[in-house]
């Protein structure tokens, strides 16, 4: 068993005004490295290839993250078995392995372990509250057994399901964070961002915010609206944000999943490390103190967040040993025109080119407009049939 090190808890840190930095997007990062399959996006790599998951945790820790989220995204039994997904490991084995890896690396620094649950196929298929909560409870049993430091209900498109998750997580007595994958327009059933936050806080979440689906500044705007709603209701909470590392100015309420480039053509939209400086400062100025990343975030993005907030935190991350502030390391470059770029002003003012002269700057989202309750979102254990695919291909023409 991995030993537990006594550390200051998440709420104690946030109550003291500390900045807590989350890690990045494991499913996208590990898909690019060959350990996650795009489509199901399930985290069996925690059991199949623990060395890959451990290494990515370590890179985020070195970059400045002090929360190690268990790699348990979409690790509910119904998701692991959805649409013909065949795995050699059980949900419990995957969740346990993920907890052990996160704890092992967290103990190498001053990091906390967060056990996470996310939205379920059962909810999309209109299963009952009791059935959906039972799914969360199975994952939660592992988190309690492994004694994670706090819990996160993350990546929920519908606040109703997120509230159900929070209610289950609160039964442990551990601190609970709740993070929706929504933008400023609210959830997929039209509940405003402000009202979503109020519902989550009333359900018992001590930390609320958003993750995924939208770019950093859009997510910060959404959390600002949540914060205003909570304060207007006379409630108190801490706030978190863990956005995409992709620019999404053309997204509708469904976020980047509606973009025609999702998921294999998003690279031209990636944020630079300097964009991350702007994001970190904007989030801090709004009053958000749990600042991290989701899909597209690599360790160098988290390092940029940590470097921007180094003065506020009182220290630089270990990864800054190999990174001069605002490009200062370029002073040692052999080419004089590159040495001339060793300054903050150059990188802050740069407007990066895509190198793709025939490509548009923005796309037209698919906008099918389906959500929970629509027949098209009913899930199944069986693999998607050729007839089902043909219907989708015809619809997308």
Give binding residues as ranges: 212, 294-295
Contact indicator for 167, 203 with CB cutoff of 8 Å = yes
3-class SS of residue 298: coil
Q: From the annotation, which residues make up the binding site for Zn(2+)?
A: 212, 294-295
Q: How far apart are the C-alpha atoms of 117 and 73, rounded to whole Å?
A: 6
Residue 392's contacts (CB-CB under 8 Å, 6 or more residues apart) are: none
DSSP annotation string for 88-121 = SS-HHHHHHHHHHHHHHHHTTTT-EEEEEE---H
Residue 338's contacts (CB-CB under 8 Å, 6 or more residues apart) are: 330
Helices (H), 111-158: 121-124, 129-145
Ranges assigned E (strand) in 134-269: 150-156, 176-180, 207-211, 238-242
Q: How far apart are the C-alpha atoms of 223 and 197, rounded to whole Å?
A: 9
Query: Any idea of the CA torsion for 217, 222, 225, 229, to the nearest 10 degrees?
Result: -150
Residue 115's contacts (CB-CB under 8 Å, 6 or more residues apart) are: 69, 70, 72, 99, 139, 140, 142, 143, 146, 148, 150, 151, 152
Q: Which residues pair with 186 in a beta bridge?
A: 183
**Cis ω for the linkage preceding 7 (within 30 of 0):** no
Q: How far apart are the C-alpha atoms of 244 and 218, rounded to whole Å?
A: 10
Residue 223's contacts (CB-CB under 8 Å, 6 or more residues apart) are: 193, 209, 210, 239, 240, 241, 283, 286, 288
Q: How far apart are the C-alpha atoms of 3 and 104, rounded to whole Å?
A: 8
DSSP annotation string for 26-87 = HHHHHHHTTSS-TTT---THHHH-HHHHHHHHHHHHHHT--EEE-S-TT-SHHHHTGGG---
């Amino acid at each position: 068993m991995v030993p537990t090190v006594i550390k200051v808890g998440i709420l104690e840190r946030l109550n003291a005004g500390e900045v807590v930095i989350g890690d990045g997007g494991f499913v996208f990062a590990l898909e690019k490295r060959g350990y996650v399959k795009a489509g199901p996006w399930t985290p069996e790599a925690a059991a199949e290839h623990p060395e890959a998951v451990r290494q990515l945790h370590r890179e985020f820790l070195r970059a400045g993250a002090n929360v190690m989220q268990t790699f348990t995204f979409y690790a509910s039994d119904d998701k692991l078995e959805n649409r013909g997904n065949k795995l050699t490991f059980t949900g419990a084995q995957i969740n346990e392995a993920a907890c052990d890896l996160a704890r092992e690396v967290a103990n190498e620094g001053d990091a906390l372990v967060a056990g996470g649950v996310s939205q379920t196929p059962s909810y999309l298929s209109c299963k009952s509250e009791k059935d959906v909560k039972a799914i969360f409870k199975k994952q939660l049993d592992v988190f309690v057994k492994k004694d994670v430091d706090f819990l996160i209900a993350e990546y929920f498109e519908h606040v109703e399901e997120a509230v159900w998750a929070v209610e289950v997580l609160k039964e442990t007595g551990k601190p609970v964070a709740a993070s929706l994958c929504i933008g400023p327009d609210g959830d997929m059933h039209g509940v405003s961002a402000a009202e979503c936050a109020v519902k989550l806080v009333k359900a018992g979440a001590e930390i609320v915010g958003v993750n995924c689906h939208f770019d950093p500044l859009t997510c910060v705007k959404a959390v600002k609206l949540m914060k205003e709603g909570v304060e207007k209701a006379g409630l108190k909470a801490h706030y978190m944000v863990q956005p995409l590392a992709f620019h999404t100015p053309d997204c509708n309420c469904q976020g980047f999943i509606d973009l025609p480039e999702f998921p294999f053509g998003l690279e031209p939209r990636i944020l630079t490390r300097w964009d991350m400086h702007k994001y970190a400062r904007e989030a801090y100025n709004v009053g958000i103190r749990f600042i991290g990343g989701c899909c597209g975030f690599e360790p160098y993005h988290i390092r940029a967040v940590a470097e921007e907030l180094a003065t506020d935190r009182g220290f630089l991350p270990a990864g800054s040993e190999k990174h001069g502030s605002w490009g200062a390391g370029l002073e040692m470059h052999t080419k004089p025109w590159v040495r001339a770029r060793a300054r903050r002003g150059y990188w802050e003012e740069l407007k990066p080119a895509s190198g793709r002269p025939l490509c548009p700057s923005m796309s037209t989202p698919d906008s099918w407009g389906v959500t929970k309750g629509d027949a098209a979102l009913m899930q199944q254990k069986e693999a998607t049939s050729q007839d089902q695919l043909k219907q989708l291909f015809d619809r997308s023409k």
